[in-house]
Amino acid sequence: MSDSTVEELVIISGKGGTGKTSIAASFAVLAGFPVIADCDVDAADMHLILAPSVRERHEFRCGNEAVIRPAGCTGCGKCLELCRFGAIVAGGEGEAYVVDPVACEGCGVCVRFCPARAIDFPEPLCGEWMVSETRCGPMVHARLGIAAENSGKLVSTVRREARRLAGENGSRLVLVDGPPGIGCPVIASMTGTSQALVVTEPTVSGEHDLERVLKLARHFGIPASVCVNKWDLNPGMTERIEALTVRSGARIAGRIRYDRGVTLAQMQEKAVVETDTPAADDIRRVWDSLGL
């Protein structure tokens, strides 16, 4: 029942497009009915492989957003003067100023200091999160509205629901497909997980970004392992990356070869390990090395 009995593996990449989601989908097949959490909420792609049927939909609201009531606005310009985010812009006909919702950070300074009290502060709808059934296990996934802030909060919501489901179903594992980068949503997807697998590629960018993402894992005390995808594109760089992995105190989880069959599997909406392309064996070995 308690969270502590559930393992949580987060798959991250630093740099985007390294094959993280293809590998995560394969792990979903290999893990034997885990709970799947697609935390790449900005560009959630896991559903394209796992074809979920949605069981529940929930609205996601985050923060507040300033809205000027034209009828109350005297056009004094106090909001423009105080806003540090460039979110107050000249309005059209009959509106001295309007709030640009994309730029508004929801700090509420304009709301508090408007002399005419003409600024409302509603909680906007920022997206939705869903609980679905897939052939590999239940999945929690989300969709963030355009330009919505706070994807970190949505990531936290998706993970919390996935953990709750795992508790209810008696699942041993929550598999988290994390977002790229090292910012807010990545931090939200990895803190408190049992281990992180970093999927990288043997490129100068892969090496550079790996260094940053491993520092992040260390910063938050998450045990990390690294697998090099498309390793044979540059064997020399693969060795450098593995050396960097060891130097950084992380574990080497294996190599996956460059294989066009990985894209072909995606075209057929299959996980790589559901096909007999050579890279499937490599992915199985990486999975076995994680000891889950």
Partner 1 sequence: MIVSVASGKGGTGKTTVSVNLARTIGSGVQLLDCDVEEPNAHLFLRGNETGSDVVTIPIPEVDESLCDGCGECSRLCRYHAIVSFGSTPLVFPDLCHGCGGCALVCPHGAIRETGKRIGVVETRDADGITLIQGRLDIGVAMAPPLIRAVKARLKTGTTAILDAPPGTSCPVIATVRGSDFVVLVTEPTPFGLHDLRLAVDMIRELSIPFGVVVNRMGAGDDRVHRFCRGEDIPILLEILDDRRIAEAYSRGELVVDALPDHASHFATLLWNIREETRNTGGQAEG
Partner 2 sequence: MKVAFTTSGTTLDAPMDPRFGRAQGFIVYDTENDTFEAVDNRQVLNSAHGAGIQATEAIVRQGAGCVVTGHCGPNAHRALTAAGIRIYSTEAPTVAEALEAYRAGALDTLNSADVDGHWS
| 120 contributes a contact to partner 1 by CB under 8 A | no
> Using the rule CB under 8 A, which residue among 215, 223, 243, 247 binds partner 1?
215
**β-strand partners of 143:** 128
| 13 contributes a contact to partner 1 by CB under 8 A | yes
Cβ burial 121-130 (10 Å sphere, 16+ → b, else e): eeebebbbbb
| 274 contributes a contact to partner 1 by CB under 8 A | no
| 258 contributes a contact to partner 1 by CB under 8 A | yes
Using DSSP bridges, classify how beta strands 7-12 and 195-200 pair: parallel, antiparallel or unpaired. Answer: parallel
Q: Of residues 202-231, which lie at the interface with partner 2 (CB under 8 A)?
A: 219-221
| 225 contributes a contact to partner 1 by CB under 8 A | no
Rounded Cα distance between 23 and 36, Å, is: 13
If you write DSSP's letter for every residue of 172-199 in order, what string do you get? SEEEEEPPSSSSHHHHHHHTT-SEEEEE
Of 27-35, 140-148, 161-169, 280-288, the segment contacting partner 1 by CB under 8 A is 140-148
Of 6 and 46, nearer to partner 1 (C-beta) is 46
Q: Collect all residues with Cβ–Cβ distance below 8 Å to 99 and sequence separation of at least 6.
A: 65, 66, 67, 68, 79, 87, 88, 89, 110, 119
Q: How many residues sit close enough to partner 1 to count as binding (CB under 8 A)?
A: 63
> Using the rule CB under 8 A, which residue among 64, 109, 156, 285 binds partner 2?
156
Task: List residues binding partner 2 (CB under 8 A).
Answer: 1-4, 62, 150, 152-153, 156-157, 160, 184, 187-188, 191-192, 219-221
